[in-house]
């Protein structure tokens, strides 16, 4: 028994920089691609961090749920959809997979929808800048239970001591009246090396029982463009096995893993692989990794 990806969806809308709108559109696309109705989604988990106007309340997951048109029926016997934010930086999507697995294993939901993505709180740009290195894009993973041998294995986590390596905050001493449109990002000079070290710990734990790496594709977070390939080199995985998202507008941050998987499925570039190693590393520094056994037919479960 396990959990597998039934469908994916992404949104890089040109008419809005709202992560609520982009995540909502990505969610709708993931449902439409496989004919799943909104009432068949029991839980929606939002793993995004940087949100419209630095929204604190209500939970952004509820706003995304509304934008996606999920669970908006209110009659007595109408189905209900529970949503919540799960915020753990770049690692959040894999934490959401952990939670989704527990939910789906109990059969308390037919599907769990994981959405992620970030935007500059000012909503004035969708492209990364020197001060804010993250691109605006929404992504969705529609997850379902499976009794077959495919799907996610155990999620392994790791953490390191010291400074967080990457920090984001609103500077209350200088924000004045425009704090809802500001965000300060600080990265230690050696942040890439520190994230790589903790990512290796998590990845090696996930690969502990694997003897042949030739059938494994690697999808990793993208704190720097070269990070996935540096990780592949350190793990002994071929560079040709690395699959990345579109980085032309900057780091997709919390959306990196679903974006890369979506792109690989659309481009049909996972042929010849039996598993995908997902690895995410971010602030903490912390990391998570999990092996995903590919379904026999990714044309349906994509």
Check whether residue 142 and residue 221 sit in a common domain: no
Q: Is residue 249 assigned to a domain?
A: yes
Distance CA 133, CA 5 (A): 28
| Residue 205: strand, helix, or coil | helix
H helical segments located in the chain: 19-34, 60-68, 92-105, 191-206, 227-235, 256-266
Confidence band for 297, pLDDT divided at 50, 70 and 90: low
Across 164-175, average pLDDT:
87
**Confidence band for 222, pLDDT divided at 50, 70 and 90:** very high
End-of-domain residue from the set 98, 122, 151: 151
Q: What is the pLDDT of residue 56?
A: 85
Q: Is residue 300 part of a domain?
A: no
Q: Do 15 and 147 belong to one domain?
A: yes
Q: For residue 254, what pLDDT band results from cuts at 50, 70 and 90?
A: very high
Residues 89 and 200 in one domain: no
pLDDT classification of 135: cutoffs 50, 70, 90: very high
Based on the domain organization, do 129 and 24 belong to the same domain? Answer: yes
* CATH number, domain with residue 41: 3.40.47.10
Q: Are residues 76 and 146 in the same domain?
A: yes
Question: Is residue 232 scored above 70 in pLDDT?
Answer: yes
Closest CA to 135 of 243, 45, 246: 246
In the chain, how many domains are there? 2
Q: What is the pLDDT of residue 159?
A: 96
In the block, residue with structure tokens 């009659």? 75
Q: Is the pLDDT of residue 252 over 90?
A: yes
- One domain for residues 129 and 192: no
pLDDT at 3: 94
Residue-level pLDDT at 171: 83
Q: What percent of the chain has pLDDT over 70?
A: 96
Final residue of a domain: which of 122, 151, 180? Answer: 151
Check whether residue 26 and residue 133 sit in a common domain.
yes
Mean residue pLDDT of the chain comes to 92
- pTM of the predicted model as reported, rounded to 2 decimal places: 0.94
Three-class SS state of 181: helix
CA distance 95 to 263: 21
Same domain, 22 and 142: yes
The mean per-residue pLDDT over the stretch 126-131 comes to 91
DSSP state of 122: T
Q: For residue 74, what pLDDT is reported?
A: 67
Q: Of 69-78, 113-122, 153-162, 179-188, where does mean pLDDT reach its minimum?
A: 69-78
90-104, 107-121, 284-298: which range is least confident on average? 284-298
Contact 244, 222 (CB under 8 A): yes
Q: At what angle do helices 60-68 and 19-34 cross, to 10 degrees?
A: 50
Claim to verify: residue 212 and residue 284 sit in the same structural domain: yes
Q: Is residue 159 domain-resident?
A: no
Where do we find the tokens 């988990």? 45
Q: What is residue 181's predicted lDDT score, i.e. its pLDDT?
A: 82
Position 182 scores a pLDDT of 85
* Residue 79, in any domain of the structure: yes
Let me know whether 245 and 138 are in one domain.
Answer: no
What is the extent of the structural domain holding 225? 188-293
23 & 68 share domain = yes
Q: Is the pLDDT of residue 299 over 60?
A: no
The residue-averaged pLDDT of 259-274 equals: 96
> At residue 158, does pLDDT exceed 90?
yes
pLDDT in tens, 40-97: 999 999 999 999 988 888 999 999 999 999 987 766 666 778 999 999 999 999 999 9
Q: How confident is the model at residue 221, as a pLDDT? A: 98
For residues 43 and 131, membership in a common domain is answered with yes
Q: 17 lies in a domain?
A: yes
Report the pLDDT averaged over residues 5-21. Answer: 95
Is the residue at 31 inside a domain?
yes
In a domain, 278, yes or no: yes
The answer to the question of residue 193 being in a domain is yes
- pLDDT in the model for residue 23: 97
């Amino acid at each position: 028994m396990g959990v597998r990806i039934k469908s994916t969806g992404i949104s890089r809308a040109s008419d809005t920089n709202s992560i609520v709108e982009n995540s909502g559109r990505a969610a709708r696309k993931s449902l439409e691609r496989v004919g799943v109705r909104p009432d068949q989604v029991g839980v929606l988990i939002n793993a995004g961090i940087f949100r419209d106007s630095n929204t604190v309340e209500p939970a952004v997951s509820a706003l995304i749920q509304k934008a996606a048109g999920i669970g908006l029926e209110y009659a007595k016997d109408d189905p209900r959809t529970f949503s919540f934010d799960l915020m753990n930086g770049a690692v959040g999507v894999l934490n959401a997979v952990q939670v989704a697995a527990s939910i789906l294993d109990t059969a308390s939901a037919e599907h769990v929808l994981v959405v992620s993505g970030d935007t500059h709180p000012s909503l004035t740009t969708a492209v990364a800048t020197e001060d804010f290195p993250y691109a605006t894009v929404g992504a969705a993973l529609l997850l379902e239970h499976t009794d077959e041998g495919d799907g996610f294995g155990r999620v392994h986590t790791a953490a390191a001591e010291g400074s967080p390596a990457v920090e984001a905050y609103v500077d209350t001493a200088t924000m004045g009246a425009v704090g809802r449109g500001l965000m300060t990002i600080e990265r230690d000079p050696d942040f890439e090396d520190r994230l790589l070290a903790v990512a290796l710990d998590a990845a090696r734990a996930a690969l502990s029982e694997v003897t042949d790496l030739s059938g494994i594709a690697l999808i990793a977070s993208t704190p720097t463009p070269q990070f996935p390939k540096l990780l592949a080199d350190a793990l002994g995985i071929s560079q040709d096995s690395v699959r990345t998202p579109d980085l032309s507008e900057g780091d997709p941050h919390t959306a990196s893993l679903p974006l890369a998987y979506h792109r690989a499925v659309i481009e049909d570039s996972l042929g010849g692989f039996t598993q995908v190693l997902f690895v995410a590393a971010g602030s903490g520094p912390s990391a998570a990794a999990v092996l995903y056994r590919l379904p026999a037919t990714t044309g349906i479960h994509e």
